[in-house]
A and B are shown apart, each in its own frame.
Chain A
């Protein structure tokens, strides 16, 4: 298992799990969210082949209503 931080919380995921798999476990479809991965905004295509590493930091955000 590796530990990553997403939106400020720690999550344990299987070794070699991808971002798409993490999103699935958290109840989100890749098309619904945008991900900043260690400071870089990912293209949606990258979710499926980006494997999580120990200590990775993710921000997973969604568009919401706002002025």
Chain B
């Protein structure tokens, strides 16, 4: 028997890949594009910033030129928003810029830990769902908030494993397990995934997808690291679909416990 991988369904779309990639922090647009290809990701985040009006363009001014809009679903984010109103403005700008009404909703006013503001995120999510956006909110691993966001019509919930860019893995594991148990929308573990093993761990737990950026972008070889994450996500998901062996208190021998040398008859 071979297990055929299940596709990931978010809102009205199906994805074969369960790895979502962020485009930040790459040394160049070309390198980002090569890593994106290697990652197999089909959903990809971008941000919005004020255009440089000084006459001196910045190097990442045209990130969309490196992403084939026919091949990928663009997920503009609301990074930089400090409250719900700013997030709504950024969402509308993002939709106009990308032609995509899919949105990574993120509101994190504290620059040190970049932890998401739950009150503003819920408020913004309600407004944006009403405006027709497909909202994928970035949240702390709070099971109650996850249900509230699901109730207002969010397409997923995206709880963090640990702070953005920290590479510390699934520090919120116990809460992630509750979110996964209770959610009726896909759960995407976003932020803090620093190693392929973290991604595999999230998938083995039953997360529907992971979002990875820094760990790929800052690697010495981002294309190679994208491939490593792709393999880890596929491995973790396959193991989850099959079901892991139960954990046990005591050892359980894998070799026969009979027929040892010098056994008494």
Number of A residues near B (Cβ < 8 Å) is 25
> What per-residue 1/0 map shows which CB atoms of B70-96 lie under 8 Å from chain A?
000000110100000000010011111
B46 / chain A contacts, CB cutoff of 8 Å: 63-66
Minimum distance in angstroms from B189 CB to a CB of chain A: 13
* Given A34-B96, A41-B92, A61-B97, residue A67 in contact with residue B23 (CB < 8 A): yes
Of A42, A62, A66, most buried by chain B (CB within 10 Å of CB) is A66
Q: How far is the CA of A65 from the CA of B46 in the complex (A)?
A: 5
**Within 8 Å of chain B (Cβ to Cβ): is A16?**
no
| Additional 12 contacts, C-beta under 8 A, given A6-B53, A41-B93, A65-B29 | A26-B53, A34-B48, A41-B95, A59-B93, A60-B51, A62-B50, A62-B51, A63-B47, A64-B60, A65-B23, A65-B25, A67-B25
Query: Could you tell me which A residues sit within 8 Å of B by CB distance?
Result: 6-9, 11, 26-28, 32-34, 36, 39, 41-43, 59-67
Write the residues of chain B forming the contact surface with A, with a CB cutoff of 8 angstroms: 22-26, 29, 32, 45-51, 53, 55, 57-58, 60-64, 76-77, 79, 89, 92-98, 164, 211, 213-214
